[in-house]
């Protein structure tokens, strides 16, 4: 899961850099307004990329990091239950 989130983050940040570089190296020669528009789009990408990179999946156990065997047994029992509390 971590590798997939990291790949998505770097992909989004690569798109962001490509937009900035393309906007001011190439597009500004034909249209400054289009270059500014590309930069505005690129400006929105980093916060979204951070959200994607920090999003936790349903299988991630970030809330129970104690390592307590009793707690782990309790979570295993809870995972076997359906959403109505039945085993």
- Asked if the structure places residue 80 within a domain, the reply is no
- Asked if the structure places residue 87 within a domain, the reply is no
Length of the chain: 87
Q: How far does CA 79 lie from the centroid of its chain? A: 25
- Asked if the structure places residue 52 within a domain, the reply is yes
Q: Total structural domains in the chain?
A: 1
Non-local (6+) Cβ contacts of 36 within 8 A are: 23
Residue-level pLDDT at 50: 92
- Asked if the structure places residue 33 within a domain, the reply is yes
The rounded distance, in Å, linking the Cα atoms of 31 and 52 is 32
Q: What global pTM score does this model have? A: 0.63
Nearest to 20 by CA among 41, 50, 51: 41
- State the 10-residue block means of pLDDT for the chain, 87 residues long: 83 95 94 95 94 76 66 75 56
- Asked if the structure places residue 86 within a domain, the reply is no
Q: How many CB atoms lie within 10 A of CB 65?
A: 8
Range of the domain at 23: 2-58
């Amino acid at each position: 899961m971590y590798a997939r989130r990291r790949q998505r983050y770097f992909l989004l940040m690569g798109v962001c850099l490509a937009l900035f570089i393309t906007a001011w190296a190439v597009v500004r020669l034909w249209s400054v307004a289009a270059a500014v528009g590309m930069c505005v789009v690129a400006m929105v990408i980093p916060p979204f990329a951070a959200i994607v990179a920090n999003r936790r999946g349903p299988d991630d156990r970030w809330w129970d990091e104690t390592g307590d065997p009793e707690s782990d047994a309790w979570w295993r029992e809870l995972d076997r239950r359906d959403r109505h509390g039945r085993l």
